Amino acid sequence: EAGVVQSPRYKIIEKKQPVAFWCNPISGHNTLYWYRQNLGQGPELLIRYENEEAVDDSQLPKDRFSAERLKGVDSTLKIQPAELGDSAVYLCASSVGGLGQPQHFGDGTRLSIL
Amino acid sequence: TQLLEQSPQFLSIQEGENLTVYCNSSSVFSSLQWYRQEPGEGPVLLVTVVTGGEVKKLKRLTFQFGDARKDSSLHITAAQPGDTGLYLCAGGLEETSGSRLTFGEGTQLTVNP
């Protein structure tokens, strides 16, 4: 089966510019996650979707971050405006069901803010 | 304060040596997962443990979940250069029914030929 697909793989922007990341989960996976991974650290959850509903967005910085999952399949994560501290790898994952189920990760988008 | 503490943070060994990495917490987890991540890629699931005291083996890798479901260990026998990577433990807190996966900061393992 095809894995989780993310694009772009790399993005370099100047601070205060907007940026968007796209994720296509594994077919049939109803749960989708966005994580941020800083260098030398483990991933930190930003938002979790069950189908098209955001069921856990408590760690999403809502002043500048937004996400959507139209039709419960693909998802986009947006940052506007980007700040220097947003430089990180943004990972998307999907699973069948949420509670304790194995998560399948994409290869991430590496964001660099100049 | 990190909810899941992994140790050591870095480990560099020679091919053929054995090693153990640890994942500890003061919280109880409904399940715990181990992932391996290589540079430029996302984490890949190695194993899930759900029962206190559970031991799972995956070829040369042995995973153990503590009796109280607060800690776990990963033991690698006769390490090979292909084992090099970032090993991450991740737990679903019992108090949230495991709905949110919390990751440790990882152990960066380097196996030298």
pLDDT tens digits along A34-93: 999 999 899 999 999 999 999 889 889 999 999 999 888 999 999 999 999 999 999 999
| Pick from B31, B88, B100: CB nearest A42 | B88
Tell me the average pLDDT of chain B. 92
Determine the pLDDT at residue B100. Answer: 77
Number of domains chain A is built from:
1
Q: Do B42 and A106 touch (CB under 8 A)?
A: yes
Confidence of residue A30 (pLDDT cuts 50, 70, 90): very high
Mean pLDDT of A95-105: 83
pLDDT at A101: 81
Task: Report how many domains make up chain B.
Answer: 1
The H or E element containing residue B79 is: none
Q: Supply the CATH number for residue B48's domain.
A: 2.60.40.10
State the pLDDT at residue A40.
Answer: 85
| Domain that includes residue A33, residue range | 5-113
pLDDT at A95: 92
Q: Which residues in chain A are contacts of B108 at CB distance < 8 A?
A: 40
Optimal mutation site among A103, A104, A107, interface B, most CBs of chain B within 10 A: A103
Domain residues for the domain of B54 are 5-112
For the stretch B66-102, pLDDT in tens is 999 999 999 999 999 999 999 999 998 766 655 678 8
The CA distances from residue A46 to A55, A57, A61, in Å, are: 11, 6, 8
On whether the CB atoms of residues A103 and A95 are closer than 8 A, the answer is yes
What pLDDT sits at residue B2? 62
